Amino acid sequence: MIFEEILTACGFSKGELEGGSLHVHTPVDGSRIASLKTDTTADVERAVSASNEAFRQWRRVPAPRRGELVRLLGEELRAEKENLGRLVTLECGKIYQEGLGEVQEMIDICDFAVGLSRQLYGLTIASERPGHAMRETWHPMGVCGVISAFNFPVAVWSWNTAIALVCGNSVLWKPSEKSPLTALACQKIFERAVARFGDAPDNLLQVLVGGRDVGSAMVESKDVAIVSATGSTRMGHTVGVKVAERFGRSILELGGNNAMIVSGSADLEMALRAIVFSAVGTAGQRCTSLRRLIVHESIYDALVPRLKDAYSGLPIGNPLEDGVLVGPLIDADAKGAMQSALDRARAEGGIVHGGEPVQVESCLGASYMAPAIVEMPDQSDVVRHETFAPILYVMKYTELDEAIGMQNAVPQGLSSCIFTTDVREAEEFLSDVGSDCGIANVNIGPSGAEIGGAFGGEKETGGGRESGSDAWKAYMRRQTNTVNYSRELPLAQGIKFDI
């Protein structure tokens, strides 16, 4: 399918894609596929105010009815799965199978949120006073600003949006300037759900197209109650500080430097498949990508040569084509970052296998790279740094304590895993003295989390949780209610205060 057909199938007209100053290039072959008009900071101000107006109406709609809109969104996404999946591939370069997986993740979170819309449970609390009732209730917050990254251009938005909507919030979306088309396509899909729903307020979802100035204006606005930001630690630091300065609420999902410990008792066949998928899937550009492999010395020589073998046969190429497993990096900057990380790794004593540029026929303007395995003598600086590229640093360990120590000795704390058939090792890894990450798995790679769990991590990953479990609570305000249904006015803590 040629690029224009993919865009047309997603409902874009020629006029929409021309005449603006934001040039969108596809990583597939580097060519320009759109020049979009951008929003100004004045547009952001108007959007924030329209979003607040939408919120004021939406919060009055009963939550299960709000769920109905999200149910319709899920239906529209099911109908558009292939088209949107292909657009994800075109705009961010992940292989089509992963583009489809990303849309499936959107459908899944819609289903989850529909159920949740009838389960925004509070608590009843025992009061210390007679004739008193205490409870905890949850209320809509306001405008939820979503900042999303190019690598999961639509799924992460949908986690935030499906949950924010059932919680009674409105949504303002500032996508990465590298992936605005998928955002605009989602807006079209959302509008179809709104039309079927019938009486939703206008402007429940607005997309803001532009660069940092647009994002900053949204982040700095005190009328944006929640800012949920996914991206680099540097971006998250700026956003987190700005939102904290105005006492807003932020939900941060930032960098990861995810490790796998492969113990001496591991099932190596399973480990091998998990390593390759999590290290080279999405060309190493997931927050959850496997970046560090910590291998028990007893199996190092059995595992690492097989891994190199598997890497040497990886089909690298146009991600729209069947059979390809590794697509391009997002752009030339990403390629440069990968190359300089490999140079640093060599300088720090690493032995690099692979990692060279790959020329893909008829895609010469793009940044295809062979995934790299780097055998490191220890966990040096470059290993502790997240490079958003398919680089897998491999290190040896002797004792499990030491491996867990290495796993935890990085600034990031998103995802982690252990491959072992020893229940003691598995439980130790998951225990209070085990992995310090938000996600810790056994016999599963660090990437590809299901939406049912809370997604996010500690330390420089930012501490936020999105998606499943009770992550919805971050999208609502908690209220403690004490009701006195007696004819007395006893004070708490037994205080006497007679007038």
Binding site for ligand UN1 (CB under 6 A): 105, 151-152, 156, 230, 286-288, 447-449
| Cβ-based nearer residue to ligand UN1, 30 or 101 | 101
| Sequence-separated (6 or more) residues with CB below 8 Å from residue 218 | 44, 48, 145, 147, 172, 174, 208, 224, 227
CB of 36 to ligand UN1, least distance (A): 23
Closer Cβ to ligand UN1, 203 or 441, answer by number: 441
**C-beta separation of 302 from 271 below 8 A:** no
Catalytic, out of 253, 386, 425, 466: 253
CB of 155 to ligand UN1, least distance (A): 6
- Within 10 A of 322 (CB to CB), how many other CB atoms are there? 9
Nearer to ligand UN1, 17 or 252 (CB): 252
Name the DSSP class of 273.
H
User: Measured between alpha carbons, how far is residue 143 from residues 74, 106, 109, 227, 355 in Å?
Assistant: 22, 21, 20, 9, 43
Asked about 253 being catalytic, the answer comes back as yes
Shortest distance in whole angstroms from residue 259 CB to ligand UN1: 15
Residue 445, SS3? coil
Residues 6+ apart with CB under 8 A from 271: 260, 262, 303, 419
Name which of 172 and 449 has its Cβ closer to ligand UN1.
449
Residue 8 CB, nearest approach to ligand UN1 (Å): 28
The residue type found at 14 is K
Strands (E), 355-414: 372-375, 391-397, 412-413
> How do beta strands 458-459 and 412-413 pair?
antiparallel
In the complex with ligand UN1, which residue's Cβ is closer, 134 or 337? 337
Dihedral sign for Cα atoms in the order 401, 287, 206, 163 = negative
Closer of 39 and 253 to ligand UN1 (Cβ): 253
Strands (DSSP E) along 108-162, which ranges? Answer: 123-125, 132-140, 143-147
Cβ 159 to ligand UN1, closest distance in Å? 9
Q: Measuring CA to CA, which residue among 169, 139, 143 is closest to residue 224?
A: 143
Bridge partners of residue 207, in order along the sequence: 173
Q: Is the dihedral of CA 185, 186, 191, 197 positive or negative?
A: positive
Q: Which position has the token pair 């021309």? A: 18
Minimum CB–partner distance for residue 195 and ligand UN1 (Å): 29
In the complex, minimum distance from the CB of residue 460 to ligand UN1, in angstroms, rounded to a whole number:
14
Which tokens sit at 239? 């956003």
For ligand UN1, the closer of residues 260 and 299 by Cβ is 260
| Separation of alpha carbons 320 and 256, rounded Å | 27
Residues labelled catalytic? 253
